[in-house]
Structure 1
């Protein structure tokens, strides 16, 4: 387990294995169940780390994911096999968050990451070369620059590939032989790297953003696919937003009150209604904006509101603090989305007596 007692206290965001090192150590000490090769914890303990619980010695494990237990159990069970895991879902469904914590719990290291973009080269999945050394000494292991995937194979660790569908299709296919053969050929050296037990891949992907490249059927067959849904209920989504905003507020040292749920409930209610195209009471049909309006965006809206309340208010979160960020989250298309938002304000928000302050604040911004 990676424990860093001299970790700087002013980090904006620590890696999961560092931030939750105490919980991981407590789980490891209490974990007497079988562990797959090179796993730091048993599958049961990994699930407990993500879902939360209380250990026999009274240690409380905070939940990292609020959702269906079976989803996490399926994800952990997949990693215990030789099949890679693909976390699929719309933006903002905690795919990256879950992949980071799974890697931290399984391997004690969540930093073996390939960030997928339209410009991701094949070397990011395979290996590159130190060209100064290559020219001076010729091809050799010392001149080779291993990718995170190669390092994970050599260490028997979990590798994360973020936004797999943003990577060009021909580069994606470099994974096929790695995932099927568990080996990475190095033809320049007439050599290969074979994966140690414990190696696996967690990839994340969504199909809502622009620039998405469909996975080939050959590559998709190498993954067990798990779809992470949006939160089922209002209360569940409110709790997710409250927990994350409180954690972000602490890391940013924002002295604002984020425990008052009224503003969070209103923002989450607005997002859920506009996403579904219908009010919570099912009486009014609504137009939906182009934006996804995910839980992650609700967290961003509330964090911006907390910052405004802390630095330009009295520290108490109010409607005026969230109005601007709320409007910006909904109105991505300045023409069509603005019409949708204005109609929602006039037909829904205006008629809710307890939302008068939010209506006025949003109208002033508009």
Structure 2
């Protein structure tokens, strides 16, 4: 594992899952690794009865995680919906790891995702040589999850064309996958379910049909309610990144994380933290995930092009890159924010100079 850039959730948190499994006395649905309350405990973190610390994977409303887990115990699939960067894929991965012990069964949704990516494909060399046989069949993650009674993840469902999306209807309603070429079908084993993710920035790209919507229970993952909550999320993820990448840099002071999160929240909300000044909103989402990315980029700058201590100059390029997505409109919005907000804050003078120098 030491040479792997990023292990799967069930690998990275294997010890936590094992400890939870040992102390889990709850009723487990068939083919579940943990009981539903233990899955929520894994996601939300906390101290177990033996004193073992479980790290939080999701920092936010516990009830949302309870609803998500409860959905997966039923015959309805789960749709995690929200703004980009609200931890939809992260939650999806950890749900799969805690329930199935395997988060790798995934279909990545794109404009080019075909029906064969969801149902099944064929090994064409064998198909030509043998005709349609079981040996010539290529199982998809969806088919394997049905056969094994596990969770399958479908990322960015609304990026997939509507005609391909509809291939899920029979799978979700009948819990079966017809294979007419072999005059047979795959029937889902208990424990099988689907977690899909979609972001509301894609609304209108490929809308889900009403038939498909009915087969999902939708849980909306919001942006963090408070600045303290968002700072905590960024801090934890940056510490994790620094450990994995083994950067020769000091972890950033909390004040640097607070400044980045404050900027992103102000630009995202269109008003300063004190509510006194209205701000134009740029075209990007400026999500928590982007704040994490800016901090990680700054750490790399400090490690390899500085003295290992994170400074405003290390962060400035990442901040500007996150804010300015439209080179015309966003640049003007950013310049106005720099001059009317950043410049006026005495404790942000170093950040003002760094941003001005780059501009």
The TM-score, its normalising length taken from structure 2, stands at 0.99
Shift, 1:314, TM fit: 1.3
Contact 1:156 1:197 in 2 (8 A): yes
Contact 1:162 1:203 in 2 (8 A): yes
Provide the residue aligned with 2:352 in structure 1.
359
Provide the residue aligned with 2:36 in structure 1.
43
After superposition, residues 266-345 of structure 1 pair within 5 angstroms as 266-345=259-338
Provide the residue aligned with 1:183 in structure 2.
176
User: In 1, Cα distance between the equivalents of 2:309 and 2:11?
Assistant: 31
SS in 2 for 1:88: strand
Q: Kindly tell me: are residues 277 and 15 of structure 1, through their superposed partners in 2, closer, same or farther at Cα, counting changes over 3 Å? A: same
Provide the residue aligned with 1:3 in structure 2.
none
Q: How far does the alpha carbon of each residue in 1:116-172 deviate from its partner, in whole angstroms, 9 at most, with x for none?
A: 000001011000001111111111111100110000000000000000000001000
Contact 2:5 2:244 in 1 (8 A): yes
Provide the residue aligned with 2:56 in structure 1.
63
Contact 1:153 1:196 in 2 (8 A): yes
Q: How far does the alpha carbon of each residue in 1:30-75 deviate from its partner, in whole angstroms, 9 at most, with x for none?
A: 0011000100000010000000011111111000010000000000
* Alignment RMSD (CA, Å): 0.9
Provide the residue aligned with 2:74 in structure 1.
81
SS in 2 for 1:306: helix
Provide the residue aligned with 2:25 in structure 1.
32
Provide the residue aligned with 1:90 in structure 2.
83
SS in 1 for 2:196: strand
Provide the residue aligned with 1:54 in structure 2.
47
User: In 2, Cα distance between the equivalents of 1:269 and 1:207?
Assistant: 23
Shift, 1:207, TM fit: 2.3
Counterpart pick for 1:235 among 228, 241, 246:
228
Contact 1:118 1:211 in 2 (8 A): no
- Flag structure 1 segments of 5+ consecutive residues without an equivalent: 1-7
Q: How far does the alpha carbon of each residue in 1:221-250 deviate from its partner, in whole angstroms, 9 at most, with x for none?
A: 100000000000111101111111111111
Contact 2:145 2:151 in 1 (8 A): yes
Q: How far does the alpha carbon of each residue in 1:327-359 deviate from its partner, in whole angstroms, 9 at most, with x for none?
A: 010011111101000000111000000000000
Shift, 1:255, TM fit: 2.1
SS in 2 for 1:279: coil
Q: How many residue pairs were aligned?
A: 359
User: In 2, Cα distance between the equivalents of 1:296 and 1:72?
Assistant: 19
Counterpart pick for 1:201 among 194, 204, 218:
194
Over 2 Å off, 4+ runs: 209-212
Provide the residue aligned with 1:246 in structure 2.
239
SS in 2 for 1:204: strand
Provide the residue aligned with 1:257 in structure 2.
250
Provide the residue aligned with 1:113 in structure 2.
106
Provide the residue aligned with 1:192 in structure 2.
185
Provide the residue aligned with 1:18 in structure 2.
11
User: In 2, Cα distance between the equivalents of 1:25 and 1:227?
Assistant: 29
Contact 1:183 1:194 in 2 (8 A): yes
User: In 1, Cα distance between the equivalents of 2:44 and 2:220?
Assistant: 17
User: In 2, Cα distance between the equivalents of 1:208 and 1:259?
Assistant: 31
Shift, 1:218, TM fit: 0.6
User: In 1, Cα distance between the equivalents of 2:7 and 2:209?
Assistant: 35
Shift, 1:209, TM fit: 4.3
Contact 1:242 1:258 in 2 (8 A): no
SS in 2 for 1:161: strand
Q: Kindly tell me: are residues 250 and 211 of structure 1, through their superposed partners in 2, closer, same or farther at Cα, counting changes over 3 Å? A: farther
SS in 2 for 1:208: helix
Provide the residue aligned with 1:5 in structure 2.
none
User: In 2, Cα distance between the equivalents of 1:261 and 1:58?
Assistant: 27
Shift, 1:212, TM fit: 2.6
